[in-house]
């Protein structure tokens, strides 16, 4: 298996501008189906955490299906952990044979290992990825709800409904220990400690040591490139930051539940239960303002807030149009990839949605380098030319994003010209001799 550098902190390489929104996974119907098929034809059940790697794979917590699922860079969905039955079992074995209980957040480290906030099991679990077979283990929590264990091995500690997990660039695992109103840290040595929150729900001010202040049902947690820690302090309706000296401040939100518009100073802007959070390489902060049905951005240069997705009304409309005109329904996890695409766990819509397009759409990735296949023009409105420099084109299959086959041919030649005039506008998957590519059909 090739060694890949996985994204585990800042992932966006540029500034995100207003773009269209699309469904990346899910039909909108709650359920479980679709493994091995295009992700847009799969049924999901309440999406929370979402994350990705630099190879273009997207991972998400399919919470009420009690599974962790993956969408490959070619758009195919699979289950990578969980049997679908709520419970706890399987440590030391295959993650596909393990039971989870409402997994709610997912993250990756630099080696590609996968971390799960297994909420109702009061545990943080880890999938160690290996060429000889992945193994799932518990790295924090003994399964009993509580708040004990600081200064000891994390596996003997108690957690209480952990909702966020994040691996920083030095290998520390940060946990939003939700019902304990605390951010806890698992050091690479396996020892757990509290780094924010005094255990009491509430808001007791800023400008003090993070361990001396109160949090209130925090969910998302992440870091920036400088090592500052960001917290979505949900019931306090604030985004808070812990600097490298351990001092906590509010960087967004007044503490008043509500919505009073965009363009205001961040600390004068009302939020409504912000849940998950992502910081890009520029230091801008993206968060799901869940109960306002919006995804919002804090521009750190201007310290102002803007909406980048959602109208403020719950719903599921707006695909293929501007993200700010689309309706979301309790948006949750956020991930920004190297192309500045923004992935959103659109919770009650049972979908993963994405703002922006992959600029390499239709261009073979590194895994196709040996195929020597060219597809052009892409995008196209009328014809598609496929050529092979070495092997014969034995079979070509084109499917739409619902998985329906719209074209199939066995040319047994090194070039073919396909008339695609009759196809509807949209994204299609072209499978050629077992390799998959994306194309965009324009009107």
Q: Domain 20-355's class?
A: mainly beta
Which residue is listed with tokens 């992440």? 222
Q: Indicate the average pLDDT of the chain.
A: 91
Q: Can you tell me the mean pLDDT for 344-355?
A: 97
- 404 vs 299, which has greater pLDDT? 299
Q: Are 237 and 272 in contact (CB under 8 A)?
A: yes
Phi/psi of residue 183, nearest 5 degrees: -105, 125
Handedness of CA 75, 78, 79, 80 (dihedral sign): negative
Phi/psi of residue 244, nearest 5 degrees: -70, -10
Q: Can you tell me the mean pLDDT for 345-356?
A: 96
pLDDT-based confidence at residue 223 (cuts at 50, 70, 90): very high
The pTM (predicted TM-score) of the whole model is: 0.81
Is residue 366's pLDDT more than 50?
no
Q: Are 47 and 30 in contact (CB under 8 A)?
A: no
Ranges of each domain in the chain:
20-355, 373-441
Is residue 379's pLDDT more than 90?
no
Other beta carbons within 10 Å of 431:
16
Is residue 327's pLDDT more than 60?
yes
Contacts of 436 (CB under 8 A, 6+ apart): 74, 75, 76, 429, 430
pLDDT at 338: 84
Per-residue DSSP letter, 151? T
pLDDT-based confidence at residue 7 (cuts at 50, 70, 90): very low
The tens digit of pLDDT for each residue in 300-322 reads 999 999 999 999 999 999 998 99
Distance CA 203, CA 421 (A): 60
Handedness of CA 104, 115, 24, 345 (dihedral sign): positive
- Report strand pairing: 342-346 vs 123-128: unpaired
**Which of the four CATH numbers 3.40.50.10210, 3.40.50.300, 2.60.40.1930, 1.10.730.10 does domain 373-441 have?**
2.60.40.1930
Is residue 363's pLDDT more than 50?
no
């Amino acid at each position: 298996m090739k060694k890949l550098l996985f994204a585990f902190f800042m992932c966006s390489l540029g500034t995100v501008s207003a773009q269209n929104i699309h469904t990346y996974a899910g039909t909108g119907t709650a359920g479980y189906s679709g493994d091995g098929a295009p992700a847009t034809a799969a049924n999901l059940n309440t999406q929370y955490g979402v994350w990705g790697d630099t190879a273009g794979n997207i991972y998400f917590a399919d919470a009420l299906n009690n599974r962790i699922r993956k969408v490959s860079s070619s758009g195919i969905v699979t289950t990578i952990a969980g049997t679908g039955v709520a419970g706890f079992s399987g440590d030391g074995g295959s993650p596909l044979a393990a039971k989870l209980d409402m997994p709610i957040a997912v993250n990756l480290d630099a080696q590609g290992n996968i971390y799960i906030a297994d909420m109702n099991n009061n545990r943080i679990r880890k999938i160690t990825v290996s060429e000889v077979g992945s193994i799932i283990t518990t790295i924090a929590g003994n399964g009993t709800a509580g708040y004990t264990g600081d200064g000891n091995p994390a596996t003997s500690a108690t957690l209480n409904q952990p909702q966020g997990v994040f691996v920083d660039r030095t290998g520390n695992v940060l946990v939003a220990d939700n019902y304990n109103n605390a951010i806890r840290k698992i050091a690479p040595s396996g020892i757990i400690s509290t780094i924010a929150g005094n255990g009491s729900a509430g808001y007791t001010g800023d400008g003090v040591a993070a361990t001396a202040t109160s949090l209130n049902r925090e969910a998302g947690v992440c870091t920036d490139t400088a090592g500052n820690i960001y917290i979505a302090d949900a019931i306090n309706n604030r985004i808070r930051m812990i600097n490298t000296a351990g001092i906590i401040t509010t960087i967004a939100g007044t503490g008043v539940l509500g919505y009073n518009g965009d363009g205001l100073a961040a600390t004068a802007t009302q939020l409504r239960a912000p849940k998950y959070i992502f910081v890009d390489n520029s230091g801008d902060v993206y968060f799901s303002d869940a109960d306002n049905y919006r995804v919002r951005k804090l521009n750190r240069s201007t310290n102002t807030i803007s909406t980048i997705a959602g109208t403020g009304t719950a719903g599921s409309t707006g695909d293929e149009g501007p993200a700010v005109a689309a309706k979301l329904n309790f948006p949750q996890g956020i991930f920004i990839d190297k192309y500045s695409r923004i992935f959103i766990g659109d919770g009650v819509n049972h979908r993963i949605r994405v703002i922006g397009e992959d600029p390499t759409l239709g261009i073979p990735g590194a895994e196709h380098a040996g195929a020597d296949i060219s597809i052009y023009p892409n995008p196209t409105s009328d014809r598609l030319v496929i050529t092979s420099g070495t092997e014969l084109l034995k079979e070509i299959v084109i499917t739409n994003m619902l998985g329906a086959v719209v074209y199939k041919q066995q040319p047994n030649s090194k070039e073919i010209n396909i008339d695609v005039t009759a196809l509807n506008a949209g994204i299609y998957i072209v499978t050629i001799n077992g390799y998959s590519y994306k194309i965009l059909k324009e009107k």
